[in-house]
Amino acid sequence: MEQVIQFILSGLSQGGVYALVAIGFYMMWSATHAANFTHGDVFMLGAVSTVVFGEIGVPLILAMPLGIAVSAVAGALIERIAVRPFNHGPSSIGWMLTTIAIGLMLESALTATYGPLGRPLYSPFAQSPIRIGGSGIYAQELLIPAVAIGLMVLLELFYRHTILGRAMLAVAANPTAAGLMGINVSRIALIAYAMAGAVGALGGILLAPVSEASSSMGALIGLKAFVVAIVAGISNARGVVIVSLGYGILEKFIEGYISTAARNSIGFGILILLLLAFPNGIFGKREVSKV
């Protein structure tokens, strides 16, 4: 039982990280039917810049919003520079290449300047763990899924009850029609990428106190979050968060009861099967093929 509690708690924490990155993929995809393929690097940028701001003496309470702002600007710039000019029609893949190129530049520039190794970020919630019997977890780690779920609720309220949110939903449903209705589709895309950057940065900043901020922290998480978002059905924010959390827990149970070594094989194997069973994602809307 102790173990089960540990796996669920650790899994939720891991899943929360996936969720915060995957929400970004959802936002970007909704607005442009493309994404920053290396969104994991924007997630990393938020954490790394917060650490750097902290090191030059900015108080944490200011460093965090600054880090988030850096990622938001990076997200918006990437949309302008690397996605928009290369995203014509559903079959274009140019954006994939350009965002990969930008991601490479970002990650390698930080490796060369900030260094390849991780650095710690202080958080009052990561100083001593909360113990439940023989299992334990840092409060910081529980904060991650809590923030992910909270953000999901806020996002849904935002989409339903604000003009901007509704405009974003309209663009997601049909960009052409939304454009005809007078919605500035291009600005919506910019905002969506900035928001995705901000949410990703928040994830990075929340994770850094438990596992350091390093230039390579984003690559694999970004890739996994992308896969998870697609399998969840990238058109459904709630689904993306639920599946992310679930996948985090699944990983821990695989590690605990089957094999730590085979975690990725089994985890991704299950994801492939799910995608075959739900070709538009688990929570995705079924697209009836129109002839």
Partner 1 sequence: MTPRLQFWLVLVLGIAGLYLFREMGPTNYAIGVLTRCLILAIVAIGLNILIGQAGLVSLGQAAIYGVGSYFAAWLALRAGFGFIPAVASGIVAASLVGAALAYPSVRVRGVYLAVITIAFGLIFQNVLIEWVPVTGGTLGLTGIPRGEAFGVRLTRQIYFWVAAGCLVFAFILQYNLTYSRYGRAMRATAQSANAASALGINVANTRMFAFVVSAALAGLAGGLYTFLNLFVNFETFTFFQSISFLLMVIFGGVGTLTGPLVGAGILTYVPELFQEFKEWQTFAYGAMLAIVMFVMPAGIVGSLGTLADRLTSKARSRQSGAWPAADALPKDTTKPSATGSLVADVKGYTIVFGGLTAVSQASMRVEAGKVHGLIGPNGAGKSSLLNLMSGFYTPTAGSMSLLGQDTTGWKAHDLARAGLARTFQNTELFGDMTVLENVLVGFHGHYKTTLIETLLRLPRFGREEKAMAAEAASLLALVGLSDYSDELAKNLPFGHQRRLEIARALATRPKLILLDEPAAGLTHGEIEQLKVLIRLLTERGVAVVLVEHHVDMVMSLSNEVTVLDYGEVIASGPAAQVQDDPRVMEAYFGSGAALEDMRKLAETAGAVA
Partner 2 sequence: MADRKVVSLKAASAAALLASGLMLAGASVANAQKAEPCIGASLELTGPLAHTGKQIVMGAEVAIDEINAAGGVLGQKLKFLAYDDQGEPSRAVDNGRRIGEKDNCIVMIGGFRTPNAIALREPIADMGLPWVGVISAGTSVIEWDKGENKWMFRVSMKDRWVAPFLVDEALARSKDKKLALVYEATAWGQGAVPDVEAAAKAKGITLVGKETFNIADQDMSAQLIRLRDAGVDTIITYMVDREATQLLRSMERLGYKPTIISAWGISSQLGKTAGNLTDGILVAGTFAWNGNLSPRAQKVYEAMKAKYSLTSPNDILLPSGNANAYDAIYIIAEALKIAGAFDREKMVNAFYKVKYEGLTANFDPAFEKAAAGAKTERHDAIKPTQYRMLAFHENVLKPVEQTPYKR
> Nearest Cα to 254, choosing from 244, 242, 262?
262
Take residue 237 and report the two structure tokens written for it: 């924010």
Write the CB contacts of 99 (distance below 8 Å, at least 6 apart in sequence): 35, 36, 37, 38, 78, 82, 83
- Whether the CB-CB separation of 287 and 90 falls below 8 Å is answered with no
Site for partner 1 contains 117 (CB under 8 A): no
Sole window of 41-49, 72-80, 176-184, 259-267 interacting with partner 2 (rule: CB under 8 A): 259-267
> Judged by CB under 8 A, does residue 184 bind partner 2?
no
Q: Tell me how far apart the alpha carbons of residues 99 and 119 are, in angstroms, rounded to a whole number.
A: 26
Looking at beta carbons only, is 44 or 76 nearer to partner 2?
44
Binding segment toward partner 2, per CB under 8 A, in 148-156, 157-165, 237-245, 258-266: 258-266
Given a contact cutoff of 8 angstroms between Cβ atoms, the answer to whether 15 and 197 are in contact is no
The only residue of 157, 177, 220, 272 in contact with partner 2, by rule CB under 8 A: 220
115 vs 134, which CB is nearer to partner 1?
115
Residue 119 touching partner 2 (CB under 8 A): yes
What value does the CA radius of gyration of the chain take, rounded to a whole number of Å? 19
Residue carrying the six token digits 């938001």: 72
SS3 136: strand
Q: What tokens were used for 40?
A: 């994991």
Residues from 243 through 272 that contact partner 1 (CB under 8 A): 261-265, 268-269, 271-272
**Interface pattern 88-107 for partner 1 (x via CB under 8 A):** --xx-xx-xxx-xxxxxx-x
Decide which of partner 1, partner 2, none touches 41; Cβ closer than 5 to 8 Å per partner kind: none
Q: Which amino acid is at 134?
A: G
Binding site for partner 1 (CB under 8 A): 82, 85-86, 90-91, 93-94, 96-98, 100-105, 107-109, 111-112, 223, 226-227, 230-231, 234, 261-265, 268-269, 271-272, 275-276, 279-281, 288-289, 291
